[in-house]
Chains A and B, each alone.
Chain A
Amino acid sequence: MEQNNKDHSPHHVTPVAVYVKVLLALLVLTILTVAVSYVDFGKANIFVSMGIATIKAALVMMFFMGLKYDTVLNRTIILSSFVAVALFLGLSASDLWTRPDIQPVKVAEVAATLTMDDIKKLEISTPELIAHGKEVFSVNCTPCHGANGEGNGASGAALNPKPRNFHGPISAWKNGTSTHSMFVTLAYGIAGGGMASYKSLPPADRFALIHFLHTWTPEIQTASAADSKYEAALKEDGIGAGSVAAKATMPVDFAISRMMAH
C-alpha cells in the first residue's frame, strides 16, 4: 500500500524519524524540567515549570496525536478545552492573588481572659463604658425592653411577667440594682421569667450595659441574694481564683471586629 501523504486526507502518515526526533526533544525537555527545578525564579517558578510542560504537551499533541496534520475543527475542539482551563485558573488566581495577606491570629492573645484587676476597673462607670453599653443595649435588649427601656418591646409583649421597665420603681427589680446583682442577672437570667442568660456577652460588655442602665435607674448597693452569686458568675467566665477555664468560644464582638476588618 503506498503511503498517503495528502494533507487533507485523514490518514497522514508521519515518518518514523519525525516521531523519534520528537521523543528526543521531549527527553531533553524533561531533563530541563528537572534541572530548572533546582533554580529559584521566585514568583516565576510556576510559569517556568508549566511553560516547559506546555511545550512538551504541544509536541505530544502536534506530532504524536497528529494535530499538525489534522483538521481545524479538531484543533479548535481541544484548544477550547485549554481555554476553559485557562479561564478556570485565571479567575481563581484573580481571587487568590488579590487577597490581602492575612496572618492567623490567636484568639487567646487578642481576646484574653480578664483578671480580677480588670474587673475592679470595669466596676467603675466611665463615659466610654456608658456609650458602649448603649450600643450593646440597642442591639441585644431593645427587642424585649423597648427602644427606651420601658419594657414595651415587641418581642416582650407575650412575656409574663413583662420585661423590666428600667424607668419604673426599683422595688420591682427581682435582683436589685447593684452592679453585682445586675451582673448576676445578665449571667443567669431570671428563673421563671422571660429574662434569658446573656453569658454570650463578654463580661466587659455586661459591665458597659450595667453602667448604661444606671443612667436610667440609680444603683442601690443593698446586699441581695444575687450579690452572693457574683463571685460564682465571674468564675464561670474564667475570672478569679479557682475559676473554670472559659470555654474556647470566640467572643461575638471579637468575631464581628475581625469580619469587619476585612
Chain B
Amino acid sequence: MLSRVADSLYWLSRYLERAENLARMVDVCRYDALDAVLGDSGETWRPILYAMCSEEAYQVARRSRSEELDVGRFITFADENPDCIRHCIAHARENARMVRDQISEEMWLELNSIHLFLQSGEAEDLWRRQPEALYREVIKFRLLFEGLIDATIPHDEGWNFIKVGKYLERADKTSRILDTLTYGDEPERGRLASAMRSCSGFSAFRGEYRGEISLRNVVGFLLFSPSFPRSVRFCVREVDRVLHAISGMPSGAFSNEAERLTGSMLAQMNFSSVENVWSVGLHRYIDGLQAQLNQIGQKVFETYVLLPSEIRNVARPEVWQIAWQQSQQQQQ
C-alpha cells in the first residue's frame, strides 16, 4: 500500500477517535455542570480544557470575542480551536478524500454527511436547543463508522493502520481523562464518576470493583484493566498486535522501532500496578505514558511513511503553495 495512503488512513482514524472522545467528555461535563453550585459552572469545565491542553487557546478565543464564549461551544465548534469536534471531523474527511479509492462507498457517505451536517447551521441550532442530542449524533456516527470499518473493507494492511490510529488516540485520550483528576484538589466521588462516564466505563468498572469508587480503583481500572477496551493497557496491547500484523513479525519480537517501543510499553503495563503509579505520582506517570505514545506514533510514521533518507529532511513547502499549484492544473 502507498505510504501516503497508510498515513491518511491512520489520521482519518485518529481524528474520528478524537472527535468521539471529545463528544463523550463534553457531554459528561455539561451534565455535571447542572449539579454545580450556581455561578460556579466555569470550574466544572476547567479540567477538560486542562486535559486538552487548550486552556490558553480558550482564553485567547474568549478575549477576541465580544460575546461570552461557552466552553462547550469552544470544544464543539470554535474556529479558534484547531481540535474542536467540527474540525476533527473535517480533518478526518479531508484524509478520507485523499484515500477515497481505499474506503467503502458507505464509509464515505456517512463521514461526508456528518461533516456537512456539522458545517451547517442546523448543527448549531440543535446544539443550542439540545446539546446532548448533538453529542449523541457524533457518538452514534462514530459507532456506525466503526461498524462500517469492520464490515465493509478488507481486513488487510490499510485496516491495520486504521486500528493503529484508533488505539493510539484512544490510549492518549483515556490517559488525559485520568489526568483531569490530578487537577486541583483530591477529586471527590462526583469527579471520579465523571471520569468513568467519559470513558463509558462505569458499569464495567462496577462489575470489576464491586462498586467501591476511589481514586485508586479508578486509576487501576482505566490504566490496567486487561479487558476493558478503553484502558490504556488494552489499547497498547491492540497497537502491539496490529503492528505485528502489519510487519508479519511474531509477537514478542520486533522488526522496527515502533514495535520495540510498543512491546516495551506493553510489558511495563502488563506487570505494573497502582503502587508503581503512586510511587512516581499520577501526573508524572501519565506524562510518561503520553510521551511514550507520541514516540510510538512518530516511529510508525518513520517506519512506514518516510523513506530513511528523508527522516532528517524537514524543509517542506507551505501547504498553500502546494494547494495553489494543484488548483492550477488545467483539467480541460
B is bound to A: no
